[in-house]
């Protein structure tokens, strides 16, 4: 599985592309349109460092080889969503979702729900049996979204400092 790996999706009018560090500038417009989320996460507006940091950060024991960043491209070629994840964390056969970000212009249409459903279906074909993630306690909408996708609480985590913010987090998980 290399960085250009993608997964089949039922999302009509969109294409999924495996992204690398070289694609960081292409993700900037998405981060800018999602600046409310970036400010919630870091306490400051998005810049090029924030995008690179997402691509270059790995959970404990994982490396660059386990990081996959999927971009969701609209028919015009713009990246309107991203799903960043880490393979085999916190344990083998479990994948960790580092970030799911959808452009506000295409929110509320079932895009994230379909993207996740397609992603989880593909992960299963790759031998995975579980997905976990951490949502900031402050991100109540994000928590509701994940609960709607069948995730339940695993544990609390933190505090963790990101930018000028300090977060406590809810770790959620579900089997796939
Ligand atoms: C959370 C996010 C990914 C949802 O994307 P989306 O494409 O608008 O979500 P969908 O349209 O697929 O919604 C799927 C379901 O979640 C619900 N949902 C979506 N956003 C919600 C919100 N803010 N509050 C409550 N429920 C929400 C929808 O009502 C829908 O429910 P249904 O299946 O019963 O109809 C998007 O709002 C986002 O990028 N937010 C900022 C980043 C973030 O918080 N990411 C999650 C933490 S990693």
For the chain, how many residues are written?
176
pLDDT score at 2 = 87
Asked whether 99 and 89 are in contact (CB, 8 A), the reply is no
Q: Using the predicted structure, report yes or no on whether residue 87 has a pLDDT greater than 90.
A: yes
Geometric angle at alpha carbon 72, from 71 and 73, rounded to 5°: 110
Q: What is the DSSP letter of 65?
A: G
Give yes or no for residue 102 CB within 6 A of ligand 1: yes
With the most atoms of ligand 1 within 8 angstroms of its CB, the residue from 27, 42, 145, 146 to mutate is 145
pLDDT score at 149 = 98
Q: What is the mean pLDDT of residues 94-110?
A: 98
Give yes or no for residue 35 CB within 6 A of ligand 1: no
- The proportion of the chain whose per-residue pLDDT surpasses 70, expressed as a percent, equals 100
**What is the rounded distance in angstroms from the CA atom of residue 60 to the CA atom of residue 42?**
21
Domain range 15-128, CATH class: alpha beta
Confidence of residue 43 (pLDDT cuts 50, 70, 90): very high
Asked whether 72 and 80 are in contact (CB, 8 A), the reply is yes
Write out the two tokens for 9: 């999706």
Q: Using the predicted structure, report yes or no on whether residue 3 has a pLDDT greater than 90.
A: no
Taking only the tens place, the pLDDT of each residue in 130-141 is 999 999 999 999
The domain locations on the chain are 15-128
Closest CA to 34 of 95, 112, 103: 103
pLDDT score at 1 = 81
Reported as half-sphere exposure (CB side, CA atoms, 13 A), residue 48 has a value of: 6
Give yes or no for residue 148 CB within 6 A of ligand 1: yes
Q: Using the predicted structure, report yes or no on whether residue 124 has a pLDDT greater than 90.
A: yes
Taking only the tens place, the pLDDT of each residue in 48-57 is 899 999 999 9
């Amino acid at each position: 599985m290399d960085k250009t790996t993608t997964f089949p999706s039922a999302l009509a009018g969109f294409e999924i592309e495996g992204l690398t560090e070289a694609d960081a500038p292409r993700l900037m417009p998405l981060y800018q349109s999602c600046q409310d989320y970036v400010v919630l996460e870091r306490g400051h507006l998005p810049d090029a460092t924030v995008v690179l940091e997402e691509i270059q950060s790995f959970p404990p024991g994982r490396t660059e080889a386990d990081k996959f960043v999927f971009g969701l491209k609209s028919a015009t070629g713009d990246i309107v969503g991203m799903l960043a994840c880490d393979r085999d964390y916190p344990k083998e056969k479990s994948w960790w979702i580092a970030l799911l970000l959808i452009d506000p212009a295409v929110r509320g249409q079932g895009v994230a729900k379909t993207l996740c459903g397609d992603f989880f279906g593909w992960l299963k074909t790759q031998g995975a049996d579980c997905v976990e993630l951490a949502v900031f306690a402050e991100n109540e909408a994000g928590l509701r979204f994940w609960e709607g996708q069948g995730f339940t609480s695993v544990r609390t985590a933190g505090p963790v400092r990101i930018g000028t913010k300090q977060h406590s987090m809810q770790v959620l998980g579900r089997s796939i």
